[in-house]
Amino acid sequence: MVRKARDRLRRLGLVAGLVVAGVLFAGGIALAASQTIIGQGDNTFNAATYTTDQGEVVPFQVTGSSHNVTATQNGPDGKALFSTPTISSGTTGVQGTQYLSAGTYTFFCSVHPTTMQATLVVGPGGAPQPRPSATLAARTKKISQATKKGILVAITTTAKVSDVSLTAKLGKATIGTATNLSLFSGQQFATIKLTKAGKSKLAKKSKATITLTADIPFGSPASGKAKLT
């Protein structure tokens, strides 16, 4: 009788453990692949080194003061390899860490650079997410259309991406921009509105070749040409 009771308790314990594990896994609590970077009220990080698997967006939490995470190294877009906005409380993701391959990367808080420096170690587990990229193609063909309505651009992106900016140049002069674009994966369209000076420069031409550039956060810039007549 005692043995049967013990066996029954073991089975119940096993079932309960599996249920709890399932709940934790479903909630994203168990098997966490990244250590949370914490910015503290004394203007320090809570550790000198943090670890993560490849392909993960590392969590960043602030428990006091105002902090951010800014990579020391620049990425292909010419900006910090990974970063967060400055926050005073709560948790946000360190964008850009999902693209890192295994290795060691230093970072700091740009608000408190002398007291807040640390290292992120990306382990061999997982796989980096592919960096976003884009291609550009102008749909506007006439100078008259460009001066009235702007330059319509087809953008094809490999991933969802935010804070994209487009620039149109005539020679070295910037004649129009489009900023803060949020793009989904695939082809979409955006219009670059010309500045007053840009319209004036373009209207004097009988034909023109416009250089188009798209700045893709955490990815390489994309470029294209618009030949207008």
| Residue 201 in this model has a pLDDT that exceeds 80 | yes
**CATH number among 2.60.120.260, 2.60.120.200, 2.60.40.10, 3.20.20.60, domain 134-228:** 2.60.40.10
Q: pLDDT (tens digit, 9 = 90+) per residue, 133-180?
A: 999 999 999 999 999 999 999 999 999 999 999 999 999 999 999 999
Of residues 176 and 24, more confidence is placed in 176
Confidence of residue 26 (pLDDT cuts 50, 70, 90): very low
DSSP state of 68: -
The pTM of the whole model exceeds 0.85: no
**CATH number among 1.10.357.10, 2.60.40.420, 3.30.1490.190, 2.20.25.90, domain 32-126:** 2.60.40.420
Per the CB < 8 A criterion, the answer to whether 142 and 229 are in contact is: yes
| Residue 77 in this model has a pLDDT that exceeds 60 | yes
Residues whose CB falls within 8 Å of the CB of residue 106, separated by 6 or more in sequence, listed in order: 71, 72, 73, 117, 118, 119, 120
| C-alpha span between 116 and 182 (Å, rounded) | 32
Confidence of residue 2 (pLDDT cuts 50, 70, 90): very low
